[in-house]
Structure 1
Amino acid sequence: MTVSANTAISSTSGARIVIVDDDPGVRELLTEFLVENGFGAEAVANGAALRDRLERRECDLIVLDIMMPGEDGLSILRSLMHDADGPGIIMLSAISSEIDRIVALEMGADDYVLKPSTPREIMARIRSVLRRRAGTAARGGAISVGHAAPAPTDCFAFAGWTFDSRRRKLTAPGGAIVAVTETEYRMLAIFLRDPQVVHSRENLADLTGRDNPHCNDRTIDVHVSRLRRKLSVNGGDEIIRTVRNRGYLFLPRVEARVA
């Protein structure tokens, strides 16, 4: 199944959006609104229909409802996360508990929107995610995070790992490619640019989630925890340390190379 979003989006207008929701009213309302505002939007009712759609054509972003009969949105999200270059994903849910938002973010969602929400708000969230992804693709894989971003030709080595920013590729010591989300990629770029420096949660939130009004200390903790787990996949030395009341410290020495 191809779900690649590897073509740079020069503008959010015209981006290919797929809405997945079992409510036909939501599908119709949101699709119509997005089309009227220049998006290539279409809607499907469930995970099976989504997979059929992705087999036929790529898309840039999926708006995915969580509470659906049969296969729920989190199960669909989990299946999509196998593709490191897949489309952006925004979760829709009537569930407002913090734990559900955290679970969705930990699984790789780019954003989480509570129902009821207006089509205009959802469109704003879509544009925000697409801008971040377009910034990555336009720079050949480099993330735009201000002064903390590595140069497009930079390649970093640390603790047996390598990170190729041009190809958006993180390679484990054993040679396996480890998939990272957009936010994890931005965060790793910050740590590698300034290793062995304590980065406050506020600074990380500003540099990785400045387009997302819901990026806060708690969501930064979630993303750091997820990145830390991926970097400890081989049971090696500690890489990211929590510094109480201050933030996070990237421990290894980093060697910058030209890819």
Structure 2
Amino acid sequence: MLNAACSTAACLPPADVTGPGLSATTPDDGAPVAPRIVIVDDDPGIRELLTDYLTSHSLGAEAVASGAALRERLSYRPCDLIILDMMMPGEDGLSILRTLTSAADHPAVIMFSAVTSEVDRVVALELGADDYVSKPNSPREMLARVRAVLRRRGLANGGGEKEETGSGTAPALLFTFAGWRLDRLSRRVVNPAGELVPLSDSEFEMMLLFVEEPHVVHSREKLADLLHSREGGINDRTIDVKVSRLRAKLMAGGGDEMVRTVRSRGYLFLPQVRAA
């Protein structure tokens, strides 16, 4: 982990040194490499908190305090995902994002900002961000977001090599299932009658997980990791209530049961899903 006080490129390790928190291996040992995460934030407390938490969950995490330090870091070692603060003195996050995504094979980017307007979210996503997380948030939520983006990028196996997916690395933006439509960018869900179905933030996040990974049993623990902890205490009962509300909205919008409870295991999304 980079010390939270490191705010310049001089704090970065040399190219041939693996910093703490990066599970790099020698070329001939064949062991997997942990996905490499770089946090870019001018707040030293946030840098230290996120770096420590992600590292403790088997991710290679380190931190820098500016766009210039990030470019220096990337000049000698690539990374898999960047957590990028939108509002920083000097070069702002959107400018950095625009530069990053101009490259064909750029790392995944999660924007991190106290600015929560829909316009800002849409601009960031249209510029190529993989996700947008509002401040304040908990390290647990950020971990869930990071895992979700890595999963979409084919890096969920815990290794630094991308899995062969045959569909590229760009996340799907539109999902259709049983006559329904979910739009990731606008965060809108439309039923077969063409009517907008209002979902809370937590309901939309669960819905997005279900359509990204249909026909998979999702445990209550996994759903708890996904949901915003700022909503209050998350426990099994809370998850059951939230899933029941989401299921009721889907049923009211027409169609058969979509979310099935699998006893003692979690929840299963039943429809066939097409992603674009």
Give the TM-score range, shorter chain.
Answer: 0.5 to 0.7
1:17-43 deviations in whole A, cap 9, x for unaligned?
A: 000000000001100111111111000
Structure 2 residues not aligned, in runs of 5+: 1-31, 157-161, 190-203, 209-276
The question of 1:213 aligning with 2:205 is answered: yes
Distance 2:86 2:182 in 1: 29
**Alignment match of 1:118 (pick from 131, 138, 161):** 138
Aligned pairs (5 A) from 1:93-172: 93-134=113-154, 137-139=162-164, 141-143=165-167, 168=168
1:221-256 deviations in whole A, cap 9, x for unaligned?
A: xxxxxxxxxxxxxxxxxxxxxxxxxxxxxxxxxxxx
Structure 2 counterpart of 1:177: none
Distance 1:16 1:135 in 2: 10
Structure 1 counterpart of 2:75: 55
Q: Which amino acid aligns with 1:202?
A: L
Structure 1 residues not aligned, in runs of 5+: 1-11, 144-167, 169-179, 192-198, 207-211, 217-259
1:105-125 deviations in whole A, cap 9, x for unaligned?
A: 010000000000001100100
The alpha carbon displacement at 1:15 in A equals: 1.1
1:168-222 deviations in whole A, cap 9, x for unaligned?
A: 4xxxxxxxxxxx84336xx6xx89xxxxxxx85338889xxxxx81877xxxxxx
The alpha carbon displacement at 1:82 in A equals: 1.4
Alignment identity in percent? 55
The question of 1:37 aligning with 2:57 is answered: yes
Return closer, same or farther for 1:86/1:203 CA change in 2, 3 Å cut-off.
Answer: closer
**Alignment match of 1:201 (pick from 181, 185, 193):** 181
The question of 1:79 aligning with 2:99 is answered: yes
* Number of residue pairs the alignment of both structures matches: 155
1:143-172 deviations in whole A, cap 9, x for unaligned?
A: 3xxxxxxxxxxxxxxxxxxxxxxxx4xxxx
Q: In the alignment, is the contact (CA less than 8 A) between 1:84 and 1:181 conserved in 2?
A: no
Give the structure-2-normalised TM-score.
Answer: 0.50
Q: Which amino acid aligns with 1:69?
A: P
Give the structure-1-normalised TM-score.
Answer: 0.53
Structure with max Cα Rg: 2
Q: Which amino acid aligns with 1:182?
A: P
Return closer, same or farther for 1:135/1:38 CA change in 2, 3 Å cut-off.
Answer: closer
Q: In the alignment, is the contact (CA less than 8 A) between 1:13 and 1:38 conserved in 2?
A: no
